[in-house]
Homo-oligomer: A and B are copies of this chain.
Amino acid sequence: MDKILRVKMGEEGGPKTVVEALGEYAGLGGRAMTSTIVSKEVPPLCHPLGEDNKLVIAPGMLSGSVAAMSGRISVGCKSPLTGGIKEANSGGQPSQVLARLGYAAIVIEGQPADDNLYKILINKDGVEITTDNSLKMLGNYAVIDKVKEAYGDKVCAISIGPAGEMKMSAASIAFTDMEQRPTRHAGRGGVGAVMGSKGVKLIVLDDEGMSKRQPADPDKFREANKAWVQGLKKHPVTGEGLPAYGTNVLTNVVNEAGGYPTNNFSTGQFDGASKLSGETQAELETSRGGLATHGCHKGCVIQCSGIFNDKDGNFLTKQPEYETIWAHGGNCGIDDLDTVAQLDRMDDDFGLDTIEMGVAIGVAMEAGLAKFGDAQAAINLLKEVGEGTPLGRILGNGAAVTGQVFGVERVPVVKKQSMPAYDPRAVQGIGVTYATTTMGADHTAGYSVTANLLGVGGNVDGTKPEGQVELSKNLQIATAAIDSTGMCLFIAFAILDQPETFQALLDIISGFSGQPLTADDVSNLGMAVLKAERDFNARAGFTAKDDRLPEYFKKEPLAPHNVTFQVSDEDLDKVFDF
């Protein structure tokens, strides 16, 4: 990872690729890399779909090594959804492969003058960019079929579906998994639209002939990685809950806690929750010959994913995540796992953020376009998105646009990005994160659900305002650092509760780089990333007024606890006091 690939789409005579030394970006990875480049190089007031925006794809610092869980890849740009900086990260194979090919980042910049569609091949011999209009408007699954045909079953790929080509603000970027399926997505903020605006449909990565990245201190690294794996396997969440039931282990937990946003955030419990739960899902998956326990990339030891087969036992989609099941399920009053899985497959194929789509459909239901609970209507609405009908383009541009177009007041967004699967009135720590993160409403940016509901990393009552700002602040800082390492965020459960596992992580990083590393260094990295992001957003025109939940969360009490969001504006403004 000693070089950066610049793909210059707007050059005379067609796109050019340039490989550069790391320069000032040396030592960065993942979110630290994408946010630093975007903050330094992208004019904050540029049009997100214009030539001045850049799409940065960066493996984590540890990606490409044998460190367990180090397969996350970050995508950064100015977001067409929020207008602010964006980092969306994903699992799948490409992070390890890109890192082994030696690239610390791909930066796609400029814009082609024509409307050709391009694909990029990166392998040990270098980089090749070619026109391929045969890919136009193909779904991600069809794109990957062509990849397999042309390049075999060893390569991995990064691609966009029709949503990205149509530059929808909910468009994602797909990353292939271990089975070479486009099931892993940098979902949020419309990163797929930015890739679409650059005219790039597909990046194929082939690391044949390359080797694993080697640690500077092999002994230290090996020992630490062993302790690391032991620590992850020991913790009840990463060692038991997630492997057995996936992220969907949360459905029953969050629903029982009264924080499960139901029917477009109108109540905090869903009658049909048990039909959607991880327990039900695992049983269904195994009964159909799928898998309830599976990883998304090589080197994963948590194995929170799975394989979801249809009623005939044929592969339909990867095990949908908790947030997907909630967005397309309870948030729309739908309690049928097969419907949710079908919607998940469609999202992956069209290249769409499942959270944004579920919330947009919930808002459309509130507008009267369909009834809450009408599964077929939800499928029909999502079909329109893939087809790019006017209605589909509305939904495909997210919940905020859908709300404006249909005159709906109750639209659960912050910075125009849809809230995920935790109601901020019953889980006020996540409300602080939604409000203040640079990303727009995002649970992963500071997952206060840990202490609010799960008793991980302490206990802070989710229904009360006290302690939430401190909780969210610390998690946001830690997360910005973790997102830079390439580590899957789920490691957080173990490192929050087990000091020796946190030490193992420090030792892995230190063993890999050969440099000493303290907990403070990690904090400082997290704070530096957040500051670069906040700085970009300020220059893009964001103020404290953007760090607020929609007013109705402060006015409408949420059943069953009958609580409103009570963290004061003054307290929200303290999150970034560092």
Contacts and interface: CB of A to CB of B under 8 A. Distances in A.
A407 B167 contact: yes
Contacts of A226: none
A391 B390 CA distance: 5
Given A45-B548, A47-B551, A166 B407 contact: yes
B409 A552 contact: no
A80 B44 CA distance: 24
A243 B53 CA distance: 49
Nearest to A541: B545
Contacts of A401: 401, 404-405
A210 to B, nearest CB: 37
A394 interface: yes
A133 interface: no
A546 interface: yes
A273 interface: no
A540 B548 CA distance: 11
A47 B404 contact: no
Contact of A541 (B47, B390, B539, B543): B543
A406 B197 CA distance: 12
A52 interface: yes
Contact of A405 (B44, B393, B540): B393
A168 interface: yes
A10 interface: no
A88 interface: no
Secondary structure at chain A's binding surface: helix, strand, loop or mixed?
loop
Contacts of A43: 551
A319 B543 CA distance: 44
A391 B43 CA distance: 32
A409 B551 contact: no
Interface in A512-550: 539-546, 548, 550
A397 interface: yes
Contacts of A552: 47, 50
A389 interface: yes
A405 B215 CA distance: 47
A397 to B, nearest CB: 5
A7 interface: no
Interface string A365-402: 00000000000000000000000011101100100010
Task: Give the number of times this chain occurs in the complex, counting copies.
Answer: 2
Nearest to A543: B541
Interface residues of A, number: 40
A539 B545 contact: yes
A397 B404 CA distance: 7
Given A169-B404, A390-B389, A409 B50 contact: yes
A222 to B, nearest CB: 49
A548 B197 CA distance: 23
A512 B45 CA distance: 48
A114 to B, nearest CB: 15
Nearest to A546: B541
A457 B405 CA distance: 42
Contact of A390 (B46, B394, B545): B394
Contact of A45 (B44, B407, B545): B545
A350 to B, nearest CB: 15
Contacts of A46: 551
A404 B395 CA distance: 12
A80 B406 CA distance: 12
Given A390-B390, A394-B393, A546-B541, A407 B50 contact: no
Interface in A314-344: none
A409 B541 contact: no
Nearest to A404: B397
A49 interface: yes
A445 interface: no
Contacts of A397: 404-405
A404 B47 CA distance: 11
Nearest to A167: B407
B407 A49 contact: yes
A405 B166 CA distance: 9
Interface string A128-149: 0000000000000000000000
Contacts of A544: 541
A284 interface: no
A41 to B, nearest CB: 15
Interface string A265-296: 00000000000000000000000000000000
Contact of A551 (B50, B394, B404): B50
21 contacts: A45-B551, A47-B409, A49-B409, A50-B409, A50-B552, A52-B551, A166-B407, A169-B404, A193-B407, A196-B407, A389-B390, A390-B394, A394-B394, A397-B405, A401-B404, A401-B405, A539-B545, A540-B545, A541-B543, A541-B545, A541-B546
Interface of A: 43-47, 49-50, 52, 80, 166-169, 193, 196-197, 389-391, 393-394, 397, 401, 404-407, 409, 539-546, 548, 550-552
Given A49-B409, A394-B405, 5 more contacts: A80-B404, A393-B406, A394-B394, A541-B544, A541-B546
Across chains A and B, which 8 residue pairs bring their CB atoms closest together, nearest first?
A: A167-B407, A541-B545, A390-B391, A390-B390, A393-B405, A47-B409, A50-B409, A49-B409
